[in-house]
């Protein structure tokens, strides 16, 4: 069953700073401004607060939010006069669109029922007011025809594009956090009641209960929770007596402090830090994304262009000092081409009752 998520959505962290030195480490067309290829918007801290306020006030009355690439201002899409009035009351910029959140959700439900094909993903792009579908190179021509037929019946509410490569989880045999003979990356150090943990991808924590900072090294932490598929997050409690810092490795001799967590907003700039590809940059392109991996669908994800490679699974997607996501997988990544997928970190923090620090 698809999780109900409002239309909106390897990496590494310094696990033990200084001690280990480990980087776990037809639609109504969107305005040309919203879709033109250009640098992504860098949100001010207030943009995250405003986005949360819009979600609380409007809920399903908005068809999604995104950042204007020129001004960095939050744009709220609505379909009714009442929703427009409510959105303006929050101080956000408002744009009228053709499809409501309920209509976009219905499109996603149709895709879920009729086109759940391994190698595809779909998510809400509020800039185009459509469900944006991607199909990787493993999707056959027959399945593409099936997907296109479903999209055609949905009357322009779906855009479809091919991406190179194959959507895959990015665990690598052998390097940054190690468990069960595989390498992943940690995302963010978190705390609860004075105890220290790190969060990472659930498809990583499914592999092993015990995690080390080096291949074959002593155990530094023990799994206390894992969820994959459906979600893709897990949590490991430090058991080696360490007190790791809440920073992300930038792989240039410096680190980024993490002070808060938020949900990513379409159009914003984002960075990924991972043990394989180190730090990459990109843009958030879709939210509420379903990814049909070979071992089952994962829901409520975020699609970005901050690319990655094997071993980056579980790492950190972030913007400045704000934690945004836990790296899950990718397809066709090269520079800022292709798709990278992250699990929203706010959901994982809520599930385990932990906070970043």
Domain 10-25+115-357 has CATH 3.40.50.2300: no
Q: What pLDDT shows up at residue 111?
A: 98
Using the predicted structure, report yes or no on whether residue 337 has a pLDDT greater than 70.
no
Instruction: Report residue 46: phi and psi, to 5°.
Output: -65, -25
What percentage of the chain carries pLDDT values higher than 70? 85
Annotated catalytic residue 168:
no
C-alpha dist (Å) from residue 241 to 19, 220, 248: 11, 8, 20
Catalytic residue among 51, 105, 203, 328: 203
Annotated catalytic residue 275:
no
Q: Distance between CA atoms of 179 and 338, rounded to whole angstroms?
A: 28
Using the predicted structure, report yes or no on whether residue 126 has a pLDDT greater than 80.
yes
DSSP state, 32? Answer: H
User: What is the rounded average pLDDT for all residues in the chain?
Assistant: 87
Laid out side by side, the sheet with 195-200 consists of 172-173, 182-184, 177-179, 210-212, 219-227, 233-238, 195-200, 188-192, 355-356
Quick one: average pLDDT of 160-188?
A: 79
Global pTM? 0.84
Q: Distance between CA atoms of 303 and 324, rounded to whole angstroms?
A: 12
Catalytic residue among 232, 308, 327, 342: 232
Q: What's the gap between Cα 59 and its chain centre?
A: 20
Q: What pLDDT shows up at residue 10?
A: 32
C-alpha dist (Å) from residue 191 to 26, 133, 188, 292: 47, 37, 10, 32
**263-299: pLDDT as tens digits:** 999 999 999 999 999 999 999 999 999 999 998 999 9
- Go through the chain and tell me how many residues it has: 357
Q: What pLDDT shows up at residue 300?
A: 98
Is the CB of residue 182 less than 8 Å from the CB of residue 208?
yes
Catalytic residue among 5, 275, 313, 331: 313
Q: Distance between CA atoms of 190 and 114, rounded to whole angstroms?
A: 39
Annotated catalytic residue 203:
yes
Q: What pLDDT shows up at residue 243?
A: 85
Q: Distance between CA atoms of 326 and 197, rounded to whole angstroms?
A: 14
Using the predicted structure, report yes or no on whether residue 333 has a pLDDT greater than 80.
no
DSSP state, 31? Answer: P
Q: Look at strands 355-356 and 188-192 and give their pairing.
A: antiparallel
Peptide bond into 229 cis (omega under 30): yes
Q: What pLDDT shows up at residue 214?
A: 86
Burial of 89 (0-12, 13-18, 19+ CB in 10 A): exposed
Looking up tokens 């810092």 gives 245
User: Which of 172, 204, 178, 171 is CA-nearest to residue 22?
Assistant: 178
The answer for residues whose C-beta is within 8 angstroms of residue 56's C-beta and 6 or more apart is: none
Quick one: average pLDDT of 212-219?
A: 90
């Amino acid at each position: 069953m698809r999780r109900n998520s409002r239309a909106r959505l390897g990496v590494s962290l310094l696990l033990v700073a200084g001690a280990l030195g480990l980087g776990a480490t037809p639609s109504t067309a969107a305005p040309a401004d919203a879709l033109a290829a250009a640098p992504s918007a860098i949100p001010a801290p207030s943009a995250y607060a405003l986005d949360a306020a819009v979600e609380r006030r409007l809920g399903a009355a908005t068809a999604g939010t995104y950042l204007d690439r020129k001004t960095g201002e939050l744009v709220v899409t609505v379909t009714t006069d009442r929703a427009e009035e409510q959105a303006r009351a929050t101080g956000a910029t408002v744009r009228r669109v053709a499809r409501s959140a309920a209509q976009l959700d219905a499109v996603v439900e149709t895709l879920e029922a009729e086109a759940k094909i391994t190698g595809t993903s779909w998510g809400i792009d509020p800039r185009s007011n459509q469900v944006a579908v991607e199909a990787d190179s493993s999707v056959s021509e027959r399945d593409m025809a099936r997907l296109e037929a479903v999209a055609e019946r949905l009357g322009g509410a779906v855009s479809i594009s091919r991406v190179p490569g194959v959507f895959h989880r990015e665990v690598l045999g052998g390097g940054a956090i190690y468990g069960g003979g595989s390498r992943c990356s940690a995302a963010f150090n978190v705390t609860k009641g004075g105890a220290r943990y790190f969060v990472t991808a659930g498809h990583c924590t499914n592999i092993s209960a015990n995690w080390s900072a080096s291949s074959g090294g002593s155990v530094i932490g023990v799994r206390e929770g894992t969820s994959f598929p459906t979600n893709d997050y897990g949590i490991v409690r430090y058991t080696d007596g360490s007190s790791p810092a809440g920073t992300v490795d930038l792989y240039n001799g410096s680190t980024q402090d993490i002070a808060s967590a938020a949900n990513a907003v379409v159009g914003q700039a984002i960075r990924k830090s991972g043990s394989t590809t180190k730090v990459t940059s990109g843009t958030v392109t879709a939210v509420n994304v379903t990814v049909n991996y070979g071992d089952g669908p994962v829901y409520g994800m975020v699609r970005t262009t901050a690319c990655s490679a094997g071993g980056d699974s579980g790492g950190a997607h972030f913007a400045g000092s704000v934690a945004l996501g836990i790296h899950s997988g990718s397809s066709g990544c090269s520079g800022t081409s292709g798709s990278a997928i992250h699990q929203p970190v706010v959901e994982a923090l809520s599930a385990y009752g932990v906070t970043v620090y």
